[in-house]
Amino acid sequence: MQTIRGFRDILPESIALWQKIEKEAVQLFTAFGFKEIRIPVIEKTQLFARSIGEATDIVEKEMYTFADRKGDLLTLRPEGTASIVRSYVQHKMYASDPVRRFFTIGPMFRRERPQKGRYRQFYQIDVEVFGIASAYMDSQLIFMLNELFLRLGLTDLSAHINSLGCQECRPAFQTALLNFISSKKDQLCENCLRRVDKNPLRILDCKTPSCKAALENAPATLDHLCKDCEDHFNTVKTNLKKQGVAFIEDRSLVRGLDYYTRTAWEIQTTALGAQSAVAGGGRYDGLVKEIGGPATPGIGFAIGFDRLVEVMEQMGNLPEELPLDLFIVAMGDDAMEKCYHWSCELNQKGICTEMDFGSKSMKALMKRADKLNAQYVLIAGETELAQDAVILRNMNTKEQVTVPTQTLISELTRILKNNDIKK
């Protein structure tokens, strides 16, 4: 049996990096006042169709949707924002305190063509803020994201930012875009021809070469911003400049989801071929209302966890494997029983200890200790135990000392907790 296409196992060999990233992210987000939220991986299909948009690639062709036994249409979540908005509205969080900061980490599902950096089950580190309309929130989120990448040692990334306007200025932009497109219809793909009426902004996001060529000089949202949107965007940019966060103003950035208003951004890399976005996000001031809550501003981003791991692996930016503190070699049945109890006690004390419960030879067990990169080996042979002692061997210096069994645990704890080999 094999995993299905686009799905994969993340094996223990590579998990240290995932854990390191997660730890850094949680620590940083917590310092910025974010709280973890956990949401289901399955929701009603309608939630995603309404929020991400009927005419987006995600909703049109990438969702894992199925009818459950009662015939209700359900979907494996393709992203986290819609579910967190649903949760905010469902639990009426706005009533007690409209200002909420959340993060969540977990798997998302999109039926895209699998390739390097693109999977059908992938992981996102997702951040969402509700109830803050100020441009200071936009710059703070981009600053925080940048800080996370700096802490992870990533310097080769570029932040692309754009403003997509709001309800006020979007119609004028759409009219300009439709005027522009009217002379290019013969160059557009079938999907985009459908989108002309449904959702013309989506045409700007089409990856078909003929559409891309046709839209090369298409009007940009930036040229049609209303005064408020322009001021908002200027504040974001000024803040980022003052904070030393480098960014590129990218007029062609539209993002693949419909809910965005005003600031939108992507963090891009050249390390993953066609999959250039390591993170993406933006403001979505109309979404909470769309999902049935009171008008509440929202903003957030999601990091592609798998992509971030791959960029760091390529850079050779890997955390050190923690060595095994102690391997216990028990020779004979009596020794086995004693060693078993010592081993569990050391594990309880947080000392990474392993032993073999079989009856292998001394040579085989020492080989295993080497393979596990054990820093110390405790040898409990019959002769030593008869004198209430064991041998402790430092695998680095090859020095051996005899330790009395009575003081064994405290002595081992002292030595291994101050283990200078590990440091």
Give the residue nearest to ligand HAM (CB). 304
Please report where in the chains the tokens 């693109």 appear, as a residue: 118
Query: Which residues, 271 to 330, sit near ligand HAM by CB under 6 A?
Result: 277-282, 300-302, 304, 306-307
Smallest distance from ligand HAM to CB 164, Å:
12
The CB-of-282 to ligand HAM minimum distance in angstroms stands at: 6
Spell 122-148 as b/e; 16+ CB within 10 A means b.
bbbbbbbbbbbeebebbbbbbbbbbbb
128 in contact with ligand HAM (CB under 6 A): yes
Measured N-to-C along each axis, helices 333-348 and 408-417 cross at an angle, to the nearest 10 degrees, of 50
Smallest distance from ligand HAM to CB 269, Å: 9
x-marked contacts with ligand HAM along 370-409 as a string, rule CB under 6 A: ----------------------------------------
- The tokens for 277 are 């976005």
If one asks whether residue 119 binds ligand HAM (CB under 6 A), the answer comes out as yes
**Among 120-128, 158-166, 317-325, 367-375, which window interacts with ligand HAM (CB under 6 A)?**
120-128
- Please choose, out of 74-82, 224-232, 244-252, 366-374, the segment that lies near ligand HAM by the rule CB under 6 A: 74-82
Residues in CB range of 407: below 8 A, 6 or more apart: none
112 contributes a contact to ligand HAM by CB under 6 A? yes
Return d(Cα 413, Cα 346) in angstroms, integer. Answer: 8
Q: What residues are paired with 281 via a beta bridge?
A: 265, 301
Report the DSSP beta bridge partners of residue 163.
Answer: 263
Contact 339, 380 (CB under 8 A): yes
Q: Does 110 bind ligand HAM (CB under 6 A)?
A: yes
E-only strand ranges, 253-373 = 261-268, 277-283, 298-304, 324-330, 353-355
Q: Closer CB to ligand HAM, residue 24 or residue 356?
A: 24
Contact with ligand HAM (CB under 6 A) among 81, 87, 221, 343: 81
In the complex, the smallest distance separating the C-beta of residue 394 from ligand HAM, rounded to whole angstroms, is 45
Residue 232-261 contact track with ligand HAM, rule CB under 6 A, x = bound: ------------------------xx----
Handedness of CA 402, 406, 409, 411 (dihedral sign): negative
As a whole number of angstroms, the distance between CA 259 and CA 239 comes to: 24
Task: Give the residues lining the site for ligand HAM (CB under 6 A).
Answer: 79-81, 110, 112, 117-119, 122, 124, 126, 128, 256-257, 277-282, 300-302, 304, 306-307
